[in-house]
Structure 1
Amino acid sequence: MYEAKAATERGDVFECRIREQWAEQLGRPLDILVAGCGHRIVPPDRIDVKITAVDEDLPGLREALEGRPGLDAWSLGDLRSVPIFPRSFDVVHIEFLLERIHYTELVLDRFLTGLRPGGLMLIRMRDRRSAYGFCDRLAARVVPAPVRRALWRRFVGEHGFPPAPQAGPPPAVYEPVTTLDGLRSYCLTRGLRITDEVRATSGPALRGPWGHAAGAACRTVERLSGGRLPAGHDELAVVIRKPHNHFARLL
């Protein structure tokens, strides 16, 4: 099962949990796997970490990682087959990755295998059941690719997907697990515990030069859906703990 706790800032909850995890290791450097390494992950101050990054081989990402300091190792490719050794990480930090890949649960299972007992999985993703997520999926399905790229540059500008914001929008897959209920179900079937759930708004189209138009579109979707697709958030930040006992089930 899961426990939901309030957090005032979505970034603070991840930093707080990483600090707690580091304290439990009695000063040993934390081994962190960053999945979705287009977004720069900055570890909390005064904490020793070893960072390994994995992601799909997207345009511009390889060049950006080659010159990025602070990475001890990185690998790009099919996330179902990238090398992840069992029980080798204290923290798995997944940053805006799940909504843009296929076989999401299979990839999550691979990350879970690489997590040590008692380790943390920190997930930040777009919510499939938000108005923003619906608009993203709809645009990917019905808008021709050249038009979508042009709209991306107009609506998003420099706030787009790093490391090359102008290269075009990332894939919009949004499998069923990319919802809060989907993650809860995933955790329940694998004996994991959700300790924190935070909703936030960070969609790049909402922060771009045409953010007012994107916001109006999301509010329209919320009204037409009768509130089932809310416009008040588009991001989910979830902290998941792997139990020390593999056979534990929290009922």
Structure 2
Amino acid sequence: MSEVRSVAQRGDLFGQRVREHWSGLPGRRLDVLVAGCAHDEPLALEEIETRATGADEEIPAIRAVLEERADLVSWSLGDLRCVPLPPRSYDVIQLSFLLERIKHAELVFDRLLQSLRPGGLVLLRMRDRKSAYGLLDRITPSLLRRMFWRMLVAPGTPGPLPSVYEPLASSDGIYAFCLSRGLMITDDQRNTSGPARRRRLTVAAVALASKLSNGRYPATHDEITMVIRKPQHHFARVL
């Protein structure tokens, strides 16, 4: 599958693609599933009526965040392989920093896609396991992650959350997944994000990891941002 890179900035990319999607609908409300509720802000869509529902793993730090979010009409926590996800119920899935921190990521992604209507959008953000930051995040012992977490992030940031990084949490993994399921990647960006990347200690560690790996794990980005479209036609694999 060829790679498509958007010229839009990440800040407007998701809103732009959702508005384009909504313009092809008869002015109705958009149903949004927020899968991964600990990080992303609500979509700023102004004139578009939306109804957002949340789903995530049962983790105390995530529950605390959800209890403060007023934009979700309801939410479910638990094993994402079995939390209630009605089939073909959502127009948009906001999939935010989830795939890199869960086990059975492909099974979970398949379940999320079953809840997406034909032609619907997945707005994906995740840490890249093949970046220097992703490498450090997944090999750092959990005790050290807990010790240094508050020093590296802004106050109120939930975590540290699990760092699993199955193969799906990479560009190659997502492209192979989408190809096998007839999904279209319309936008693909690489970004640097997160308060930890602005701390000298972490920036130096990321640069060192990239150098020691001879650039195999680059320090140029840590985040993958994609817009993925589920096909409308009947000849694609049924999801």
TM-score (norm 1): 0.89
Query: Partner of 2:162 in structure 1?
Result: 171
Q: 1:220 to 1:37 in 2, by over 3 A?
A: same
Residue 161 of structure 2 is aligned to residue 160 of structure 1: no
Give the CA RMSD over aligned residues. 1.6
Paired residues of 1:2 and 1:193 also in contact (CA < 8 A): no
- Pair 1:223-2:214 in alignment: no
Deviates more, 1:178-187 or 1:16-25: 16-25
| Structure 1 unmatched runs, 5+ | 162-167
Question: Hey, what's the Cα distance between the residues in 2 that align with 1:198 and 1:131?
Answer: 17
Contact 2:178/2:185 (8 A) holds in 1: yes
Q: Does the 8 A contact of 2:118 with 2:231 survive in 1?
A: yes
CA contact (8 A) 1:191 1:247 kept: no
Distance 2:148 2:8 in 1: 33
SS at match of 1:60: helix
Q: 1 CA distance for matches of 2:66 and 2:142?
A: 30
1:151-199 deviation digits (Å, cap 9, x = unpaired): 11222242733xxxxxx41100000011011100000000111000011
Aligned residues: 236
Question: Contact 2:90–2:117 at 8 Å: present in 1 too?
Answer: yes
Deviations 1:40-95 (Å, cap 9, x if unpaired)?
Answer: 43222221001010001111332432342121221111000000111111001101
- Partner amino acid, structure 2, of 1:19: R
Q: SS in structure 2 opposite 1:73?
A: strand
The answer to whether the Cα contact below 8 Å between 1:10 and 1:199 also exists between their aligned partners in 2 is no
With over 3 angstroms needed to count, the CA separation of the structure-2 counterparts of 1:63 and 1:148, relative to structure 1, is closer
- Are 1:159 and 1:204, in contact at CA under 8 Å, matched by a contact in 2? no
Query: CA offsets, 1:128-158, max 9 Å, x none?
Result: 000000000110xxx352x321111222242
* Aligned residue type for 1:223: K
Judged with a 3 Å threshold, the aligned counterparts in structure 2 of structure 1 residues 159 and 197 are, in CA distance, closer, same or farther, namely: farther
Match of 1:165 in 2: none
Percent identity over the alignment?
Answer: 52
C-alpha displacement of 1:97: 0.6
Q: Report the equivalent of 1:127.
A: 128
Alignment correspondent of 2:75: 74
Unaligned runs of 5+ in 2: none
Letter in 2 for 1:217: A
> 2:145 corresponds to which residue?
148
Q: Residues 51 and 71 of structure 1 are in contact (CA less than 8 Å); yes or no, is this contact kept in structure 2? A: yes
Separation (CA, whole Å) in 1 of partners of 2:39 and 2:193 = 13
CA–CA distance in structure 2, aligned partners of residues 122 and 21 of structure 1: 12
Please report how far the alpha carbon of residue 98 of structure 1 lies from its aligned counterpart in structure 2 after TM superposition: 0.6
On the 8 A contact 2:181/2:236 being kept in 1, the answer is no
Q: Which of 215, 226, 230 is equivalent to 1:242?
A: 230
Deviation per residue, 1:188-221 (Å, 9 max, x gap): 00011100001100133113xxx11211111111
Which residue identity lines up with residue 197 of structure 1 in the other structure? D
Q: How does 1:203-214 map to 2 (within 5 A)?
A: 203-207=194-198, 211-214=199-202
For 1:67 and 1:230, the matched residues in 2 are separated by 36
Within a 5 Å distance, the mapping from 1:1-251 to structure 2 comes to: 1-43=1-43, 44-139=45-140, 143=141, 145=143, 147-158=144-155, 160-161=157-158, 168-207=159-198, 211-248=199-236
Cα distance, 1:114 vs structure 2: 0.5
Give TM-score, length-normalised by structure 2: 0.93
